[in-house]
Amino acid sequence: MEERFVDNGDGTVTDRKSQLTWMQNDSYNVFKRFLVFSVAKKFIAKMNKEAFAGYSDWRLPSKDEANSLYYREKEKSIQDKYEMALYIDPVFSAGGGYDTWTNNTRGKITAYVFSFASGTGGHKEVDDNLETSVRLVRGTMDEAARGALSKIPPKKGMIISEQR
């Protein structure tokens, strides 16, 4: 059986199911610290200016794209910096953060954060107090792949928005 995720040997991973290309490391692997939302945007600009892996179209993932990495059956995992299980393919680098900022925002106040530990997420304030990691992506997920991938279940007590 062909592996879903391919290590491209240049710090990127291609998802054969969604056709997206991901950074193999998340921002914590790169900087050894978590990022507030505004700094996450600067990280994107830096990766694009440097043309990381030969590309200059890196961006935040959508919540659906981040969710597409999550193994709901928990059959594969890596460990984050706290040695907690993250249910994503071991082709991705271990030792990073357990969640990622996404491009799903509500105005200028919140952005959706997706957890690779729980497979859930919610909107968090984007002020300079909340720091998390980011896993950058490039490309476009086609509608067939989007429909084939599972939807994110709400986490108890979290407000989930369907806005894009």
Predicted confidence (pLDDT) per residue in 10-21, tens digit = 999 999 999 999
For residue 13, what are the β-bridge partners? 7, 22
Q: Which pTM value belongs to this model?
A: 0.86
SS3 79: strand
Which residues of the chain are under the pLDDT cut of 70? 128, 143-164
Nearest one of 128, 74, 72, 140 to 103, comparing CA atoms:
140
- pLDDT confidence of residue 150: 53
- pLDDT confidence of residue 141: 82
**CATH hierarchy code of domain 5-148:** 3.10.100
- pLDDT confidence of residue 59: 98
